[in-house]
Structure 1
Amino acid sequence: MKKIYTLSAVLATFALQAQFTVTVQTPADFTDKDAILYTLNGSKDIIVTKEQSKNNTWTFKYPNHYMGMMKLYFPSTNNTISFISENKNVNIKLDIQNNKVKDVIYLDEANEIMSKQQEGSQKKELILPALAQIKEYYKDNTDFGKALKTEIDRLSGTSSSVDAAKHPFVAYYNTNYSKFIGNPADNKKVNQDDIINFLDKSNDMLESSSLLRPVLVAYLNSGGNTNVGGSVDKLLDRLKVETPRGQTVLSELIDIFDVYQMDEFKNKYLGLAKNLKCTINDRLASTLKSNANVETGAVFPNYKFQSATNTTAKSIHDVKADKKVIIFWSSTCSHCESELPKLLEKYNELKSKNIQVIALSLDVDKNSYSTKIAAFPWINDSELRGWNSTYVDTYNVHATPTYFILDSNSKIISKPDHVGDVLEYFKVK
């Protein structure tokens, strides 16, 4: 009986050690009460939990072991802050001005070190090249020239090392960011085999580090534009697509090809994913689902309007029309700025054919959005959450503007690339 008690005590102690809390403090005048905590899987934010503030303090209890990037999102004020976890308590204080985050003060050691490391890396990547150019115009024996040289030498120096035993995630992130993503001059010594070995042998901090997608982009670039398929096949053969790591990489690659409109490769590897006979992990399952939602012939998933203009309909499916044009756009999108006026010119003609336009905005600023839609007579709606909007994942939106044409039953019948394709489809160009 004593042995059982001892084992139970050990397990209980381990469970307590595996838990940590995230505590965030804000000034009393910050109006947001809700906050959503996310972890990371590849490039996908994963919702952990939602909490309400108590005396302008949010406390999140995380029950599992986790080392990696985390994010906190305040939906009402559309503020986002990022930080890391090393499976230890995280403490953050926010400086707020006019309901916007002005500064983030990291009170725990791991985040303080990570913040300083990233600030140093950004200065090295962004400021150092500019200082080197300026130096050419000043002599070394002048006061300003001497100051320039001192700053250049400081930024050129090796970043202070991080004790990997004490701060494993900070060390992991900084080492691999520097090797695979940082200074392009340093990356010349990294070849495809180096990247494959890293992706194959890396521990599970890879998925939670935010490094996976940029490393994959670096890998594709290193193989050249003429050998994309060969590079991907070589990587997936090594990783094995049946494994969790192989599936996550496959999912990221499908999304990358989608973002860069490389449809041939997207369709090839999406087909590979669909034909897998093994158990599918969550990351790949989300990619398969979001792509299935918007396949030609599929019923466009319904969306309940939040505060739609120019309609009494409650949702997309409630809108009655022979055809519907769905647009995902933003008032800050330059392509939208040039394309939507062309749609506006033909709107009355479209309306006469019983074609309804429904525009879902990825705006954040309410004033900017409201000003813009004042000129749009079609149905407009927005969550005012930008790329945190729920419809981004549901409809697999990677860019604005994105268009869909639906029939009267809300089935997808076309996915035009540009507004000209929309007008051509309806013969009103």
Structure 2
Amino acid sequence: MKKLFVLSGMLFAFSMNAQFSVSIQSQPDFNEQEAILYTLNGSKDIIVTKEKSKGNTWTFKYPKNYSGMMKVYFPNTNNSVSFISENKNINIQLDTKANKIQNIIYQDESNELMNSIQESSQKKEIILPALVQIKEYYKDNTEFGKALTSEMGRLSGTSSIDQSKHPFVYYYNTNYNKFLSNNPAKKVTQEEIVNFIDKSNDMLESSSLLRPILVSYLNVGGNTNVNASVDTLINKLNVETPRGQTVLSELIDIFDVYDMNEFKTKYLTLAKDLKCTINDRLASTLKSNAATDIGAVFPDYKFHAAVNTNAKSIAEVKADKKVIVFWSSTCSHCESELPQLLTKYKELQAKNIQIIGMSLDTDKNAYTTKIAAFPWINDSELRGWNSSFAEIYNIHATPTYFILDANNKIISKPSHVGDVLQYFNVK
């Protein structure tokens, strides 16, 4: 009852105090009713509210200033559309076919401009180098040579953005070109990156730039200087500030993704030992890691459409040990590792060890075809990284393994399939 009251109260506030609106319209054959609006905090999507379709149109009212990336997700058809906000009304038209988005038409000025710049940037990075090579075979005084020169000049040009009129478009593209472009004007130093992260306004958290810039920062410092690089950064930012805590949270996740467990442990411990007020971003990281740490009881999950079992949830599966593997049919490492589990499956069964595969697939046919070869328990929401269990179990990469005891306590978190087989002495 309390949750319903909170949600209804939030929706009432949206309707009464809208700062700007987000309107998304689809074609009549798009079989979707509910849509979920998200904002962005670092690399985390934050749910804002949900809306039902009215005449194939979803209208969201946003009650305060927000400049940054936004997303609307359609859970029934597993479609999403990304766009930006500059605190102005947003209008988007979707071309759909067979319940899939074929084309996105941005009808407001800010998103039209952003989309145009992104398309030009892609052409500049992909097409321009090819035209430069082709140009060597054509003289400037030929018709084709003149056309090539003209197109190269157009692609080489820079887009002019009025910062006062389009602050987020300017912020995103200026800083992307400086810190992340494949062809930066000059190589940036770690000091420049630290100063940018320290001095940047709140659009850093909402821009989607924070994580890739942090990865770039670590790469500039080199593999042998990770400790010094991170310590320099967080000391400059101060981990008792919201920016410092968000950066610390992002770094912990980055170390998780790249299996840099020594660094993850060090900075996760730093986060746990903080005595100050913790912001939501870092609190979420601490919670998800605590729930999936060795010794914790594995959070239960109610199966969506599991095969090869009558159990209704992970906790209901009875076995002396359980191997939980998060995977996807599009994951190349899964392609090489899961067959190794298959070859030892009967030996594992003989030891009363059960395997539970949780797929982050989106394509039902690909998922169904793949699990036909896997005799263990398989389940999937078919929502990819939008699957609820990706957040619940702090999954950043596939495959990810957990080993549970008979009471669903986490007793091991193997890095690779070889570690799984070695743990059970069936390698």
TM-score of Structure 1 vs Structure 2, range by shorter chain: over 0.9
Q: What is the match of residue 10 of structure 1?
A: none
Instruction: Select 2:260's aligned residue among 245, 259, 262.
Output: 262
Per-residue CA deviations over 1:278-325 (Å, capped at 9, x if unaligned) read 100011111111111211111111111011101111111111100000
> Contact between 2:18 and 2:61, CA under 8 Å: does it hold in 1?
no
Q: What is the match of residue 174 of structure 2?
A: 175
Q: What is the match of residue 239 of structure 1?
A: 237
> Contact between 1:43 and 1:210, CA under 8 Å: does it hold in 2?
yes
Q: What is the match of residue 415 of structure 1?
A: 413
Q: What is the match of residue 309 of structure 2?
A: 311
Deviation at 1:141, TM superposition (A): 3.8
Distance in 2 between residues matched to 1:139 and 1:264, nearest whole Å: 58
Q: Name the SS for the 2:181 alignment partner.
A: coil
Distance in 2 between residues matched to 1:185 and 1:76, nearest whole Å: 41
> Contact between 1:95 and 1:101, CA under 8 Å: does it hold in 2?
yes
> Contact between 2:327 and 2:359, CA under 8 Å: does it hold in 1?
yes
Distance in 1 between residues matched to 2:23 and 2:261, nearest whole Å: 43
Q: What is the match of residue 98 of structure 1?
A: 98
Q: What is the match of residue 161 of structure 2?
A: 162
Distance 1:137 1:414, change over 3 A: farther
Distance in 2 between residues matched to 1:318 and 1:162, nearest whole Å: 57
Instruction: Select 1:351's aligned residue among 325, 349, 355.
Output: 349
Distance in 2 between residues matched to 1:133 and 1:163, nearest whole Å: 34
Instruction: Select 1:396's aligned residue among 388, 394, 397.
Output: 394
Q: Which runs of 5+ in 2 are unaligned?
A: 1-14
Distance in 2 between residues matched to 1:18 and 1:100, nearest whole Å: 30
Q: Name the SS for the 1:199 alignment partner.
A: helix
Per-residue CA deviations over 1:343-396 (Å, capped at 9, x if unaligned) read 111111111111010000000011111111112111110000001111111111
Deviation at 1:140, TM superposition (A): 3.4
Percent of aligned positions with the same letter in both sequences?
73
> Contact between 1:402 and 1:417, CA under 8 Å: does it hold in 2?
yes
Q: What is the match of residue 367 of structure 2?
A: 369
> Contact between 2:360 and 2:385, CA under 8 Å: does it hold in 1?
yes
Deviation at 1:202, TM superposition (A): 0.9
Q: Name the SS for the 1:338 alignment partner.
A: helix
Q: Name the SS for the 1:186 alignment partner.
A: coil
Distance in 2 between residues matched to 1:252 and 1:84, nearest whole Å: 22
Deviation at 1:17, TM superposition (A): 8.0
Amino acid in structure 1 at the alignment position of 2:175: N
Q: Which runs of 5+ in 1 are unaligned?
A: 1-14
Distance in 1 between residues matched to 2:185 and 2:38, nearest whole Å: 33
Distance in 2 between residues matched to 1:225 and 1:271, nearest whole Å: 21
Check if 1:299 corresponds to 2:297. yes
Aligned length: 413
Distance in 1 between residues matched to 2:341 and 2:279, nearest whole Å: 41
Deviation at 1:16, TM superposition (A): 7.7
Distance in 2 between residues matched to 1:18 and 1:198, nearest whole Å: 32
Distance 1:34 1:187, change over 3 A: farther
Q: Name the SS for the 2:402 alignment partner.
A: strand
Deviation at 1:142, TM superposition (A): 3.7
- Please tell me the root mean square deviation across aligned C-alpha atoms, in Å: 1.5
Distance 1:324 1:82, change over 3 A: same
Distance in 2 between residues matched to 1:135 and 1:416, nearest whole Å: 53
Deviation at 1:56, TM superposition (A): 0.5
Distance in 1 between residues matched to 2:382 and 2:125, nearest whole Å: 33
TM-score by length of 2: 0.94
Check if 1:222 corresponds to 2:246. no
